[in-house]
Each structure stands twice: as C-alpha cells, then as structure tokens.
Structure 1
Amino acid sequence: MKKTLQILVIGILLLGCKEKPSDKKEIQEEIIFNQDLVNELERMVKIDQIAASVPQGKYKKLTLKQWNSFKDSVFTTHQKKLKQIFNTYGFVGFDLAGENGSKNFWLMVQHSDHNPDFQLEVLKKMKLEVDKKNANPSNYGYLVDRVYLNTGKKQVFGTQATYNTKTGQAYPKNLSDSLNVNQRRKALGLKPLEMYLNDLTKMHFEMNQEYYRKKGIVKPKLY
C-alpha cells in the first residue's frame, strides 16, 4: 500500500513539473542597434582600405619595408579590436550594425590573414547569421575561401584570385571542383566566375597600365 502511494505521489509531482508550451520557447536576447559600433567600424575600415590598397598620397613616400610595416600594423591592431567586438557581440549582423556596419566588420576579418584561427571562429558564427538572413551570403562565400586557403585547403567559390603577369589575366587560386563552381556561386548570389575574373582583370590592368604597356600589352586578356 505504501509503495502504491509513493508511486502516485511521484506521478503527481512529475505532472506538476511538466513544461508548459510557453516554457519551451527559447528566450532570445533583444538585439539593439548600436550606432557607436557602426561609427567605430566606419573609422577603422577607412584605415583598413588604405592599407589594403596600393600606396596613395603621402604613403607613396614610404619605402617598401615601411609600407609593409604600416600594413602589418593596421591589420594586426584591427584584428585585436575585432576580437574584442566579436567576444562581446559575436558576428556583427544587420540587426546590430546595419548592412554597411556588418560588411565593414566582415571586410576587416577578411584582412586578418595573420590569424586564420580567428577568421575560422568568425566564419562559424557568420554562418549562423547567414542562415537567419542576418548577414550577407556572398560575403560569407568570400570568407569561406579566405579561411580555406589560409588553412591549406582548396577554395570553394573562386573568390580569391591572382594574376598572370605576362597577360594581366586573373585566375582563381587553388580551386576545388571547378566544373561546378558556378552552381555554388549562384547559390550565394555571386556572379559567374568568368565574369568575376574579367572584372578583376580589368581593374588590375587599369592599375598597372604602365607596366603592361612596357611589355607591349595594350589590353587585358579576358575569358
């Protein structure tokens, strides 16, 4: 009899503890748009773009060693700051900083090649935001390729290119499954690889016209 009563009491307690449907819903922390963060990323990316380009203005006076030192300093300093932001907010999505703020964060992570472990950490969190439509899928593809190449793997979407110095033509670095690359690119909203490489080729040729003209090349070779 006592044993029967104990079983009944346990059953009643378990019923009383049963989750209500509303309890099963995950409580998500509300994301508040952060204008200060947007402004900070905007300031950082202006310097980042100077370092990521060819020397312009006063930077033309620097020696190659000084220029490389400047670039390394910018990318290393920014990566440390990006790490702080990432540790606080995770991947900076549209809800936190708008499309432009999110893009600026991603772009500077792209340039953190000296720390591929950090890039990979960000990539994993970015995928979650892409799945929620809170980050740009095309940018995600660029970061995938960057991380893969920086960790000794073949790139997937062909976003990372180099150039044939004899013709000025761009071509993808170490690409996996080139026959199906355009299907993968299309899924992320990227244009066909041939069009993308032609755009890069034209830009590269424009920036290095003097070099190629000395070699007798008056126009870039396109696909």
Structure 2
Amino acid sequence: MPRPLASLAVVITAVAATALTACGDDASRAPARQTADSASTAGTADEDLRRELLDEHGWPGWDLVGRKASTAAWVVAQHADLDLALQRRALTLLETAVAAEDASPGDLAYLTDRVLVAEGDPREYGTQWELDPRDGWRPRTPIADRSSVDERRADAGLDPLRVYLKELEAAG
C-alpha cells in the first residue's frame, strides 16, 4: 500500500539530507563534491526514491509533496552522479512537471546541465563548474550558444551567468 503523500514528503526530505551528507554538500546549488564512496551511500537512497516515488507517482511535484520536498527530490537526482539512468529518468519527469508548472524551472536547469556534463555534452544553462586548486573555477564542459545563456537562465529563474560566477568565486 502506498504511503500517504505527507509521508512521502518526509521520506524525500530525509533521503535528500542523507544524500547531501554523503557527498559533503549543502543545500546550495554549488557543484557537487562527490566521491565514489559517498555516492554509493546516496545510491541506496536513490533506489528508494526511484521505486517509491518515480515509479508510483512520477516527479514529486509541488502539488503532490510541496515545494520543499520537491526540491529535496531534485537534490537526490542532482547528486546521483553514479546513476545516470536515474538522472535521465528524473530529468524527463521533471521536464513534464515544469511544463505543468508543478516544479522549479531552476531545478530543471541544474539537472539538465548535470546530465549533459555526465554525457560529455555542452551545458545549456552554464551551471556545473569545478574548482581547480591552481586555476579556480572552470567549466566542466563548454556552454552551448553562450550568447543566449543569460536568456535561458532568466527563463529558468536563474541569475545571469556573471552573477553566478561571482557567487562561485565568493564561495571558494
């Protein structure tokens, strides 16, 4: 028997907290600093999320579980770097939810870039940078059509790329 939806929100939030703790990240949208060991811990939680939520309910959108838990589901998908199939599936479901105005376009932008980077393709929104100890922040893959990246970012509710890069620099 499926859990009540309020319980699903609690489960999603707990799974996200576990995933963030495992990968050493916080709730910010800074690039993940995930190791194979920490990703495997999050991977168990990802399997629960896939089975319990994605299979039974599709993307856990705002109407189903609320904004906080929907964002928590995005956190789990975003940090499931060792499970590209889960990320792709979550991306497809999240695209549908965003089109229905039932999930965050910003979350979709970050997950889109995360999947593109994993596949070695150019990013659409200019997220997903990595910190090089010698050279500072550098892109993980190029940005597709850089001349219109700020327009795509604005459509997703994200700050312009220059503002995002200043935030990354300030973070470290």
Provide the TM-score with structure 2 as the length reference: 0.85
Residue in 2 aligned with 1:57?
none
Deviation at 1:52, TM superposition (A): 2.2
RMSD (CA atoms): 1.8
Summarize the Cα distance change of 1:192–1:118 in structure 2 as closer, same or farther, 3 Å threshold.
same
* Structure 2 CA distance for aligned equivalents of residues 68 and 87 of structure 1: 27
Gaps of 5+ in 1: 1-32, 55-66, 205-223
Q: Is the 8 A contact 1:158 1:173 kept in 2?
A: no
CA distance in 2, matches of 1:167, 1:119: 29
The answer to whether residue 163 in structure 2 is matched with residue 192 in structure 1 is no
Q: Report runs of 4+ in structure 1 exceeding 3 Å deviation.
A: 67-70
Q: Match of 1:145?
A: 113
Equivalent AA in structure 1 for residue 125 of structure 2: F
Q: What amino acid does structure 2 have at the position aligned with 1:78? A: A
The amino acid across from 2:44 in the alignment is T
The answer as to whether partners of 1:91 and 1:125 remain within 8 angstroms in 2 is yes
Number of residue pairs the alignment of both structures matches: 159
Counterpart pick for 1:86 among 54, 67, 72: 54
Counterpart of 2:43 in 1: which secondary structure? helix
Inter-partner Cα distance in structure 2 for 1:191 and 1:161: 15
Q: Does residue 39 of structure 1 match 2:10?
A: yes
In 2, Cα distance between equivalents of 1:99 and 1:71: 26
1:72 maps to what in 2? Answer: 39
Q: Deviations over 1:44-82 (max 9, x none)?
A: 22222212226xxxxxxxxxxxx9464133221011111
1:108 aligns with 2:79: no
Aligned to 1:131: 99
CA distance in 2: counterparts of 1:69 and 1:141, whole angstroms? 24
Question: Alpha-carbon deviation of 1:102?
Answer: 0.3
2:29 corresponds in structure 1 to: none
Say if 2:124 is the partner of 1:156: yes
Higher Cα Rg: structure 1 or 2?
1
Q: CA deviation at 1:167?
A: 4.8
Distance in 1 separating the partners of 2:38 and 2:118: 18
Q: Give the aligned partner of residue 208 of structure 1.
A: none
Q: Contact 1:161–1:173 at 8 Å: present in 2 too?
A: yes
SS of the residue aligned with 2:44?
Answer: helix
User: Contact conserved, 1:162 with 1:171, CA < 8 A, in 2?
Assistant: yes
Matches of 2:35 and 2:155, distance apart in 1: 37
TM-score, normalising length: structure 1 = 0.66
* Partner Cα separation in structure 2 for residue 108 and residue 137 of structure 1: 16
| 164 and 91 in structure 1: CA distance in 2 versus 1, 3 angstrom threshold | same
Identity %: 26
- What is the one-letter code of the residue matched to 1:79? D
